[in-house]
Amino acid sequence: METMPPTQTPAPPAMSEDKTVAIVSYLTFIGFIVAIVLHNGKKTRLGAFHLRQMLGFFLTGIVVYPCGLILTFIPIIGCIALPGLALFGLAMLVLWILGLVAAVNGQMNPMPVVGPLYQKWFGNAFD
């Protein structure tokens, strides 16, 4: 008689409310506000996680982009700042896509590099 190896039970799928808040938080700033309102009705770990990710994402863009834009008007530095600003925009797009894909899949995967920092800095937000 063969003994079957113990199987791990898969994690329960995320509830639709979880995914709704997580996904809507990635859809523009207005979507972020709507997700906060939805989350306040029923707080979930997945929703709070992705709201913290997007809060950090928005604040990063609000701080870095204007500073980079100002640097583009300074001679010599502007030659470096302009391509840097373009790379920053591309990196933000990639981070946004990775976050959205994680939300659609119901996963709590932080954005690369900055995601763990966002969770640390805003750890009590949306709980």
How do residues 79-102 score in pLDDT, each as one tens digit?
Answer: 888 888 999 999 999 999 999 999
CA dist 94 and 123 (Å) reads 23
The CA distance from 126 to 28, in Å, is 18
Structural domain boundaries enclosing 100: 18-114
pLDDT band per the 50, 70, 90 thresholds, residue 16: low
pLDDT digits (tens, 9 = 90+) for 19-54: 899 999 999 999 999 999 999 988 899 999 999 999
SS3 content of the chain, % helix, strand, coil (to 5): 65, 0, 35
Residue 9, in any domain of the structure: no
State the total domains in the chain: 1
- 35: number of Cβ within 10 Å: 24
- pTM beyond 0.85: the answer is no
Tokens in use for 8?
């791990």
Mean pLDDT value of segment 115-123: 91
Round to the nearest angstrom and report the end-to-end CA distance of the chain: 50
Instruction: Read off the pLDDT of residues 66-81 as tens digits, 9 standing for 90 and up.
Output: 988 898 888 888 888 8
